[in-house]
A and B are shown apart, each in its own frame.
Chain A
């Protein structure tokens, strides 16, 4: 009882703080006055910070806010999907796990608002002129933000506290509708915030001399708004799934009995499936985002993909490679859940080999940092054989093949508990093998032809047909698989039989995702270089320089540790609360 009271007072405090943050945000943006042009700033336009590194403070607040926001935007999406599946399949397991997902995230909603308030406060204190300029353009959007915020808060509480009361009959559909409302409001909030951020990168409605003479919609619907919305939407789902997967993994490792272990095994599988499912289209959304950056400004695009940031993408490749390897490893371990899993174990080494090769191609740098002697010996900055692998066409090829083979792992995993009985099963499997082979040949041909035998401008032209090939094969194979396994011999998955080491793969995915989000957030912001609003409002503060990757990595690591610690605390709070109510 004492613990419940304590949790209630914590909730009151965080709710009050959230509301305060919300009022502050509305007041600040609503009070913005139209200005004619972006101010030309000098060092004196930035208030004294008394030893505080203004950029680091804003960076940390923004990063924390983004991590929490990604988590709390994603979880209701997962919850709604699971609840809906539960209703359709009439399987209470989905309902229970959906409710548990929501419970573990509920405190994170308040923390999202608090970190948002901290971010806003630090921006107003450290960068008042920038905020004044943004408020002058985006002032009216504060109203939408306020409405979405209020609607999200109302639907969240109705959705969470109404779970038990609206669990049957038509009330269940009302509950689902409330969940849909919650997700719509959350996504709307993100879209509004994305408009401000993307305007800073690709301002629209601004003439060549920097004067804003456009309308609000032009400013909102700038070059990067739509791709950023899509990219963040998908990435949030993948991220939310990974964090819940990590929670399930920890609970699985600490489970006291078989029943609990089976429950958390299933929860870990379901959430990681959602995470991996969202991870598959993410590179394509990223490609669109990057293409729009190039389309807006070649200079910004080249800054992103060339020079110092090129090495950041090598780090990114290592992280995504680790994500894919961990996801595949988890699926391979899952073969043991099905009765027929053993017959597919022989394929694992080949899939692992292909993924490892793709991974190596992906993280091969184009330009090498060499001593003059090494450069002379090599005949230049580029390795004669490995140099071509550093170009985007090679990396696009590698990533598409990696996606296809990850999908293959998933197909084999699904077959580990069922055997098709239809007469044409052999033809179906041959058709799938043919599709895979044709896809790999097509993807490789497109990458090689466009990458190395056409003009530089068309080097990335292979991306779209490569992506289309990958998506087509995934959809076609799923359709064949579904028809082929109608009336198949099935055995139940034996949940709770996964080896403990498989759960570390889920933890690796969550930690890598968090770190990766931090790193890519840095590069997205850093390509503005010494501009608050790219090409319009120059940053004249002492911290206007671009930090090195090493520095950024240290900041991201510290941020990740802080964030993960808070998340662990939230999980602890959630399980402690459940134990208290059980008692």
Chain B
């Protein structure tokens, strides 16, 4: 019985130590609440459109997880509008876009159409992009056809507002 008590006390002390470390030593971080569904009106002004894009970029789209200098996992997008037109002329380009806007759309739904050198999935020799199709996976943007302008756009008909749905990229 004496040994049993010693072993039990030792085991409880070990469990207690791990609990103490996890509860009181590790910084108390509470993960953000799950984003809530919200129906988004069609943006009426450029400012609203920018605001909507920003919320998708930092929220549901989870773009900022990789497309930042700190993360370094994906090309930076600050000059994307300028560079996009040049990409379609690159020898490695396999997509169907004929203009910059089309290229940007294609990069979202078929990211492997052109992989920026150095940013391919591991072992793919820059042939496969690690980026998912934004219409699927946990991002789930809705694809909408803009008939008047004759090109596609991704309009987040249903946005998960209320927080960044993933963690910071370290």
A residues near B, CB below 8 A?
206-210, 249-250, 253-254, 291, 294-295, 297-300, 302-303, 305-311, 314-315, 318-319, 366-367, 369, 390, 455-458, 461, 504, 507-508, 511-512, 515, 529-531, 534-535, 539, 544-550, 552-554, 557, 560-561, 564, 568
Give B30's nearest chain A residue, CB to CB: A548
Query: CA separation between A512 and B21, bound complex, in Å?
Result: 13
By a CB distance below 8 angstroms, the chain A residues around B166 are 299, 302-303, 307, 529
Let me know if B21 and A318 touch, CB within 8 A. Answer: yes
Partner of B19, one of A249, A295, A390, A557: A557
B83 within 8 A of A: no
Which stretch, B3-11, B93-101, B145-153, touches the partner chain A? B3-11
By a CB distance below 8 angstroms, the chain A residues around B66 are 298, 302
By a CB distance below 8 angstroms, the chain A residues around B135 are 208-209
By a CB distance below 8 angstroms, the chain B residues around A534 are 137-138
Let me know if B29 and A557 touch, CB within 8 A. Answer: no
Most chain A Cβ neighbours within 10 Å, of B18, B34, B66: B18
By a CB distance below 8 angstroms, the chain B residues around A560 are 15
Let me know if A564 and B21 touch, CB within 8 A. Answer: no
Partner of B29, one of A302, A311, A318: A311
Let me know if B27 and A553 touch, CB within 8 A. Answer: no
By a CB distance below 8 angstroms, the chain B residues around A455 are 72, 118
B52 within 8 A of A: no
Most chain B Cβ neighbours within 10 Å, of A208, A529, A535: A208
For the complex of A and B, the 8 pairs showing the least CB-CB separation, nearest first, are A307-B167, A208-B136, A553-B22, A456-B72, A530-B34, A369-B27, A546-B31, A535-B138
By a CB distance below 8 angstroms, the chain A residues around B46 are none
Let me know if B22 and A511 touch, CB within 8 A. Answer: no
Let me know if B14 and A511 touch, CB within 8 A. Answer: yes
Query: CA separation between A554 and B34, bound complex, in Å?
Result: 22
CB of A58 to closest CB in B, whole Å: 17
Let me know if A549 and B18 touch, CB within 8 A. Answer: no
List which B1-58 residues lie within 8 A (CB) of chain A.
Answer: 3-4, 6-8, 10-12, 14-16, 18-19, 21-23, 26-31, 33-35
Query: CA separation between A549 and B14, bound complex, in Å?
Result: 18
Give A202's nearest chain B residue, CB to CB: B137
Query: CA separation between A298 and B130, bound complex, in Å?
Result: 7
Give the interface size bracket for B toward A.
35 or more
CB of B60 to closest CB in A, whole Å: 11
List which B53-112 residues lie within 8 A (CB) of chain A.
Answer: 62, 65-66, 71-73
By a CB distance below 8 angstroms, the chain A residues around B119 are 457
By a CB distance below 8 angstroms, the chain A residues around B122 are 291, 295, 457-458, 461
B residues near A, CB below 8 A?
3-4, 6-8, 10-12, 14-16, 18-19, 21-23, 26-31, 33-35, 62, 65-66, 71-73, 118-122, 130-133, 135-140, 165-170
Q: What are 28 sample pairs from A and B whose C-beta atoms fall under 8 A apart?
A: A208-B135, A208-B136, A210-B140, A250-B4, A253-B7, A297-B137, A298-B73, A298-B131, A300-B138, A306-B170, A310-B170, A311-B27, A315-B22, A390-B170, A456-B72, A461-B122, A507-B7, A515-B14, A529-B166, A530-B35, A544-B34, A548-B29, A550-B22, A550-B28, A557-B18, A560-B15, A561-B12, A561-B15
Partner of A307, one of B34, B121, B170: B170
By a CB distance below 8 angstroms, the chain B residues around A549 are 22, 26, 29
Let me know if A315 and B3 touch, CB within 8 A. Answer: no
Let me know if B14 and A512 touch, CB within 8 A. Answer: yes
Query: CA separation between A550 and B22, bound complex, in Å?
Result: 6
With contact pairs A307-B170, A308-B31 given, residues A554 and B11 touching in the complex (Cβ less than 8 Å): no
Query: CA separation between A476 and B15, bound complex, in Å?
Result: 38
Let me know if A545 and B15 touch, CB within 8 A. Answer: no
Give B13's nearest chain A residue, CB to CB: A511
Query: CA separation between A300 and B19, bound complex, in Å?
Result: 26
Let me know if A305 and B14 touch, CB within 8 A. Answer: no
With contact pairs A306-B168, A561-B12 given, residues A548 and B28 touching in the complex (Cβ less than 8 Å): yes
Let me know if B34 and A545 touch, CB within 8 A. Answer: yes
Let me know if A299 and B26 touch, CB within 8 A. Answer: no
CB of B16 to closest CB in A, whole Å: 8
Partner of A299, one of B8, B138, B168, B170: B138
CB of A45 to closest CB in B, whole Å: 14
CB of B110 to closest CB in A, whole Å: 11
Most chain A Cβ neighbours within 10 Å, of B34, B132, B137: B137
With contact pairs A298-B66, A456-B71 given, residues A366 and B170 touching in the complex (Cβ less than 8 Å): yes
Query: CA separation between A209 and B21, bound complex, in Å?
Result: 43
Let me know if A306 and B34 touch, CB within 8 A. Answer: no
